[in-house]
Amino acid sequence: MTEAVEVWECEKGYEKVEVYESIFSMNNVGKPLRFVKFAMKHKNK
């Protein structure tokens, strides 16, 4: 698994929010594409 780009603690009802980012290319697409994923952990779960 990749390293988190950013981590927010105690953010609006969440214990922790981690942000993951990667850049990839596709055939017939001129510019690289950016993929961002958020992993959220609720305070009460």
Q: What is the mean pLDDT of residues 9-35?
A: 85
| Residue 33 structure tokens | 């594409």
* pLDDT at res. 33: 94
Q: Does the structure show a pLDDT above 80 at 4?
A: no
CA 43 – CA 45 distance, rounded (Å)? 6
Instruction: Please report, for the chain, the start and end positions of each structural domain, with discontinuous segments joined by +.
Output: 6-37
* pLDDT at res. 1: 53
Q: What is the DSSP string of 21-36?
A: EEEE--TT-SSPEEEE
Confidence of residue 25 (pLDDT cuts 50, 70, 90): very high
Among 40, 37, 36, 33, which residue's Cα sits nearest to residue 17?
A: 40
| 24, 31 contact by CB (below 8 A) | no
